[in-house]
Structure 1
Amino acid sequence: MDKKEIRVLIKYCFLKGKNTVEAKTWLDAEFPHTAPGKPTIKDWYAKFRRGEMSTEDGECSGRPKEVVTDENI
């Protein structure tokens, strides 16, 4: 299961009114090999509480890992 699917499941638990402990218990029972850790669930719950309902990755600031310029080609 990929990260996007896990985030959607965490959002499902949040919208159903489960707290983080209930969400962790449910995810461990249903998806024992791919369940996220407690800190991951807490982080996503915090984002959802702030109103950030997107499950997509946010944009990262900073320079890219690889830079292509005439000098390094």
Structure 2
Amino acid sequence: MDKKGFRVLIKYCFLNGNNTVEAKPWLEAEFPDTAPGKSTIKDWYAKFKRGEMSTEDGERSGLPKVVVTDENIKKIHKMILNDRKLKLNEITDILKISTKRVDRIVHEYLGMRKLYAKKKQ
């Protein structure tokens, strides 16, 4: 069962007047391998007690996770080809993408192990 389905079942337990201690074993009996944890059940009960009865995920702040696009991959590749001494931090500052995402694009999508290797003297 997916997360939304479990949220609906947790809401059902809440509306029936069950507490979290009663809800946990009931969910584990019905879904032994995939039942949500005790803290998840408590969090949703707290939300329902505050009057928030929606079982949907709330809006989250921040940039979307979908920054690994063909356009960004091409931009990064072009930047690296133009200046092999370019650092990850410089790319992140220019494109306003997290260092983690730039690192992933460089290593996984472009197949580069290092951006710049110093010459031995």
Q: 2:32 & 2:48 partners in 1: Cα distance?
A: 24
Shift of the alpha carbon at 1:64? 1.4
Runs of 4+ in 1 over 6 A off after TM superposition: none
CA RMSD of aligned residues (A): 1.8
Q: Tell me, yes or no, if structure 1 residue 31 matches structure 2 residue 31.
A: yes
Q: Distance in 2 between matches of 1:20 and 1:66?
A: 36
Query: What's the CA shift for 1:67?
Result: 3.8
Amino acid at match of 2:36: P
Amino acid at match of 1:32: P
Normalised by the length of structure 1, the TM-score is 0.88
- In 2, the alpha carbon distance for the partners of 1:35 and 1:66 equals 29
How far apart, CA to CA, are the structure 1 residues paired with 2:27 and 2:66? Answer: 37
Q: Please name the residue that 2:56 is paired with.
A: 56
Query: Distance between the aligned counterparts of 2:66 and 2:35, measured in 1?
Result: 32
Equivalent pairs, count: 72
Three-state SS of the structure 2 residue aligned to 1:10 is helix
Structure 1 portions without partners, runs of 5+? none
Query: Structure 2-normalised TM-score?
Result: 0.55
SS at match of 1:28: helix
Greater relative contact order, per chain length (Cα 8 Å cut-off, separation 6+): 1
In 2, Cα distance between equivalents of 1:20 and 1:2: 20
Code of the residue aligned with 2:52 in structure 1: it is: E
Structure exhibiting the larger radius of gyration computed from Cα positions: 2
- Structure 2, gaps ≥5 residues long: 76-121
